[in-house]
């Protein structure tokens, strides 16, 4: 293997297309497209973060200081849409593009031209979505869940938001089809399903979730569009429709969607922890089954987002118990991560720090989720800052921490440069402390009854909101610092050259190609050697 | 590989259709279970004959009327409460008036019955649900509702509410 990869390395410089347009606009190379996705996600993360900074600024004290209530609603709505569809999801697709072919020994993604298309749709979708800020009536302001009838009463933004969502959906679906086609057809000889790294497994499952639910979301927003412009009454009570129907369709998409944002994180964490614990992942097969179980359960629990909408008693009970069931496969995963670290020869490089923080903080988010799964208690939590705290624990200290940890873990492979461990550790502690100052007080605010999506609050909530805002500004600044670290690593400033293996006990095919990874890898179709893999199941 | 792409594409297209299929599925589900206060279509006379009158039970039926903010009508029940016996046929009337002095307005009502678990036992034999009603300027009208509370109504219900909301009917609000 080392022989062939050396050959690849020598060919490398001849094969990179010349010129910016050829290299990036016309690219069909999985690594370049992965880079595009990751850079795009980082830009969106900063943009969505900037909106969040204005939200925290307004909430620093009670009363209306900086923004009008309607603009505040636009901020919360657009912050969520940008972060969910612009930052977290594209970041994971970026990881998938970079890592899946290298992890399964494939020369590229299965459908490289479609790959280019699915990326280049995205900037246009977000320009269209962002342009609504400058229109009459402003951006969508009914929350990212786009509930009618409120969303239909906004300004001229609806059509733009709906078509932007269609484009994001098409992009995600094409990306998912590509991932499935790659994993099912392009594995190198001897790369059986149960030898695949867990990141590949979780992405395969995520891709199936994507093709199952993104079209449902597209359908739901299409119905909003026809209700608004073409006189249909899907969600209009005056014509025999029902606004609650939208909530059912939306959450039939929405609940799998939240697992689309967390399953790849599980995969990344399952790669990082064994490397730095210097032990194989505990319970590999149970991890695969647990991921599949979580994906299945995600389809049958949607109405726990709607406990207070008025459901029959039996339905409340069913959705409560079904939701609680999810904690079992999730518990299996957390147990396995802890068991992997148990008696391991652990070291605490930046990726590992983020991974450990993920396990602890994601679990806190899981527990608050479990609290809200209790239907009678949820009437108290519903639409308060408690839910805001919950989903930020699972999405920021969950998904985003996994993404950041993954970047530190693989950036030496991507760039050939070892990031500055000192700066990485500063970034970690800065982020972890500030993110808890930011979101932990919101639990108390929610329990005390502060509603979400409101720019003003009663004075007894002031202290916790100030804490939260200070944490928010610090966390936002920490991510600017992260951009600087990434920039310095890419440019090789204050860095050392990365070895091919990078981490001293890393396993998996990606660590057996040179650093930086050559433009083309695994073109010879040679069989994979078992000793290079992290998991060689007896199946 | 082409097979994988073809299959996954078909799944995506079918799921897009599934979103729309959820609309009739939801309606049917609600009608079968009485969810959202849906009561089904007005019942035929022969069902009424099958009812057993249960003089020992007394149910309070409350009548509620709402007008959508964009409809310039007055709309109210002529009586707010009625004590009824399950299995017997009763009649009440709603009053509506077009408050506009210049314009004939067409309205249409939706209805629901609360609590949801009782809605399947509330049978209307005559009502003005989903029929278009045009009132000339200042015209008044009395609209009858005849109903029968099913004698199989569950034990734990002794109050039911029939609620109507009138909306202005225009071409945008077609069913």
pLDDT tens track for A117-143: 999 999 999 999 999 999 988 999 999
What residues of B are in contact with residue A238 (Cβ under 8 Å)? Answer: 68, 108, 110, 167-169, 173
Convert the pLDDT of each residue in A359-370 to its tens digit. 999 999 999 999
Residue B173 lies inside a defined structural domain of this protein: no
Q: Show which of residues 130-169 on chain B sit within 8 Å of chain A, judged by CB atoms.
A: 130, 165, 167-169
Give the mean model confidence (pLDDT) for residues A287-307. Answer: 96
Assess contact for B91 and B144: CB atoms under 8 A.
Answer: yes
The answer to whether ipTM exceeds 0.90 is no
- The CATH number covering residue B92 comes to 2.60.370.10
Q: Is B68 on the interface with A (CB under 8 A)?
A: yes
User: Which whole number is the average pLDDT over A83-97?
Assistant: 97
Give bridge partners of residue B164 from the DSSP assignment.
B65, B111
Q: Do B23 and A245 touch (CB under 8 A)?
A: yes
d(CA A68, CA A211): 39
Residue B17 touches partner A, C-beta closer than 8 Å: yes
Q: How far apart are CA A375 and CA A378, in angstroms?
A: 5
Same domain, B90 and B6: no
**Same-domain pairing of B43 and B67:** yes
What pLDDT sits at residue B127? 77
pLDDT at position A2, please?
Answer: 42
d(CA A519, CA A192): 25
Residue B29, chain A, CB below 8 Å: the answer is: no
Residues A196-213, mean pLDDT to the nearest whole number: 97
Mutation target to probe the B interface, by most B beta carbons within 10 A, among A183, A238, A250 is: A238
Q: Do B15 and B47 belong to one domain?
A: no
Q: Least CB-CB distance to A181: which of B4, B165, B168?
A: B4
**Is A259 one of the catalytic residues?**
yes
B12 to A181: CB separation less than 8 angstroms, yes or no:
no
Do you find a cis peptide bond into B115, omega within 30 degrees of 0? yes
| Residue A111 in this model has a pLDDT that exceeds 70 | yes
The answer to whether the CB atoms of B11 and A176 lie below 8 A apart is no
Q: Of the given ranges (A2-11, A72-81, A217-226, A319-328), which has the lowest mean pLDDT? A: A2-11
Catalytic-labelled residue, pool A201, A251, A259, A409 = A259
What is the pLDDT at residue B51? Answer: 75
Q: Is the pLDDT of residue A212 over 80?
A: yes
Tokens of A477: 């600044």
Contact A519, A31 (CB under 8 A): yes
Q: What is the pLDDT of residue A179?
A: 97
Distance (Å, whole) CA A346 – CA A342: 9
Check B12 against A215: CB less than 8 A apart: yes
Q: Are residues B72 and B96 in the same domain?
A: yes
Q: Which residues of chain B have pLDDT under 50?
A: 173-175
Instruction: Residue B16: name the closest of A147, A252, A126 by CA.
Output: A252
Residue A481: band (very low, low, confident or very high) from pLDDT cuts 50, 70, 90: very high
B131, B163 in Cβ contact below 8 A?
A: no
Residues B61, B105, single domain; the answer is: yes
Q: Determine how many CB atoms are found less than 10 A away from the CB of residue B136.
A: 12
Q: Give which of A460, A456, A472 is closest to A58, Cα–Cα.
A: A456
Q: How close A240 comes to chain B (CA, Å)? A: 6
Tokens of A459: 């004075």
Residues B132 and B79 in one domain: yes
Strands annotated E in A9-123: none
Separation of alpha carbons A293 and A65, rounded Å? 47
The mean pLDDT of chain A is: 93
pLDDT-wise least confident of A147-151, A487-491, B15-19, B25-29 = B25-29
Q: What are the tens digits of pLDDT across the range A239-259? A: 778 899 999 999 999 999 999
Same domain, B29 and B44: no
pLDDT digits (tens, 9 = 90+) for A1-35: 344 444 444 444 456 888 888 889 999 999 999 99
Interface contact flag, B8 A312, Cβ < 8 Å = no
List the structure tokens of A496.
């050392």
Question: What's the pTM value of the predicted model, to 2 decimals?
Answer: 0.90
My answer on whether B88 and B133 are in the same domain is yes
Within a domain: B85: yes
Say if residue B28 is in the same domain as residue B69. Answer: no
Contact A507, A532 (CB under 8 A): yes
CA A85 to chain centre: 9
- On whether the CB atoms of residues A178 and A115 are closer than 8 A, the answer is yes
Domain of residue B43 covers 39-168
**B156 and B131 within one domain:** yes
Q: Alpha carbon of A10 to those of A415, A514, A523: distances in Å?
A: 17, 11, 13
Interface A:B, Cβ pairs < 8 A: 99
Closest CA to A329 of A357, A301, A355: A301
B174 and A110 within 8 Å at the Cβ level: the answer is no
Q: Which of A184, A223, A236 sits opposite B4 (nearest CB)?
A: A184
Total domains in the fold of chain B: 2
Residue B84 lies in a domain: yes
């Amino acid at each position: 293997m080392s022989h062939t990869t050396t050959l690849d390395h020598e060919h490398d410089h001849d094969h990179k297309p010349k010129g910016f347009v050829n290299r990036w606009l016309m690219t069909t190379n999985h690594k370049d497209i992965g880079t595009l996705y990751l850079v795009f996600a980082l830009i969106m993360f900063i943009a969505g973060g900037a909106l969040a900074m204005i939200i925290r600024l307004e909430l620093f004290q009670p009363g209306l200081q900086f923004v009008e209530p309607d603009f505040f609603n636009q901020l919360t709505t657009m912050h969520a849409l940008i972060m969910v569809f612009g930052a977290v999801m594209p970041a994971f697709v970026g990881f998938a593009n970079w890592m899946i072919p290298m992890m399964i020994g494939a020369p590229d993604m299965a459908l490289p031209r479609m790959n280019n298309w699915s990326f280049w749709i995205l900037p246009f979708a977000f320009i269209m979505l962002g342009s609504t800020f400058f229109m009459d009536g402003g951006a969508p302001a009914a929350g990212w869940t786009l509930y009618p009838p409120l969303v239909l009463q906004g300004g001229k933004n609806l059509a733009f938001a709906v078509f932007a969502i269609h484009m994001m959906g098409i992009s995600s679906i094409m990306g998912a089809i590509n991932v499935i086609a790659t994993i099912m057809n392009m594995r190198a000889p001897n790369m059986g399903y149960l030898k695949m790294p867990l990141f590949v497994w979780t992405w395969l499952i995520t891709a199936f979730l994507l093709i199952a639910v993104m079209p449902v979301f597209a359908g739901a927003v299409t119905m909003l569009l026809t209700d608004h412009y073409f006189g249909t009454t899907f969600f209009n009570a005056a014509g025999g429709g029902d606004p609650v129907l939208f909530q059912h369709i939306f959450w039939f998409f929405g609940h799998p969607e939240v697992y689309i944002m967390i399953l790849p994180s599980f995969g990344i964490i399952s790669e990082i922890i064994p490397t730095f614990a210097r032990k194989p992942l505990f319970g590999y097969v149970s991890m695969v089954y647990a991921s599949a179980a979580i994906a299945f359960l995600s389809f049958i629990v949607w109405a726990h987002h709607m406990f207070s909408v008025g459901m029959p008693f039996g339905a409340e009970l069913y959705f409560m118990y079904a939701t609680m069931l999810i904690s079992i496969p999730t518990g299996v995963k957390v147990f396995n991560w802890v068991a992997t670290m148990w008696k391991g020869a652990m070291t605490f490089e930046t990726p590992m720090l983020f991974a450990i923080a993920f396990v602890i903080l994601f679990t806190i988010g899981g527990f608050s989720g479990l609290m809200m799964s209790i239907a009678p208690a949820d009437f108290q939590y519903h639409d308060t800052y408690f839910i805001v705290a919950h989903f930020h624990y699972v999405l920021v200290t969950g998904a985003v921490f996994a993404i950041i940890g993954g970047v530190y873990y693989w950036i030496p492979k991507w760039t050939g440069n070892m990031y500055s461990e000192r700066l990485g550790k500063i970034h970690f502690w800065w982020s972890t402390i500030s993110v808890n100052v930011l979101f932990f007080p919101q639990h108390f605010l929610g329990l005390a009854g502060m509603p979400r999506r409101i720019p003003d609050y009663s004075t007894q909530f002031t202290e916790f909101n100030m804490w939260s805002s200070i944490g928010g500004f610090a966390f936002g600044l920490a991510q600017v610092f992260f951009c600087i670290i990434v920039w310095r690593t890419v440019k090789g400033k204050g860095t050392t050259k990365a070895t091919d293996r990078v981490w001293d006990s890393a396993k998996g095919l990606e660590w057996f190609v040179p650093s930086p990874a050559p433009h083309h890898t695994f073109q010879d179709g040679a069989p994979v050697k078992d000793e290079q893999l992290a998991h060689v199941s007896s199946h | 590989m082409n097979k994988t792409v073809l299959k996954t594409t078909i799944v995506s297209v079918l799921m897009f259709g599934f979103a729309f299929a959820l609309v009739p599925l939801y309606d049917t589900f609600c009608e079968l279970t009485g969810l959202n206060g849906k009561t089904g279509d007005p019942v035929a006379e022969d069902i009424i004959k099958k009812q057993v009158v249960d003089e020992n039970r007394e149910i309070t039926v409350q009548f509620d009327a709402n007008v959508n903010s964009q409809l310039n009508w007055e709309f109210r029940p002529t009586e707010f409460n009625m004590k009824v016996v399950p299995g017997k046929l009763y009649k009440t009337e709603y009053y509506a008036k077009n408050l506009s002095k210049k314009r004939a307005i067409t309205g249409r009502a939706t209805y629901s019955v609360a609590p949801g678990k009782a809605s399947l036992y509330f049978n209307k034999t005559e009502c003005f649900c989903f029929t278009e009603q045009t009132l000339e300027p200042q015209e008044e009208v009395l609209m009858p509702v005849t109903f029968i509370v099913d004698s199989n109504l569950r034990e734990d219900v002794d109050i039911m509410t029939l609620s109507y909301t009138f909306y202005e009917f225009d071409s945008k609000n077609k069913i």
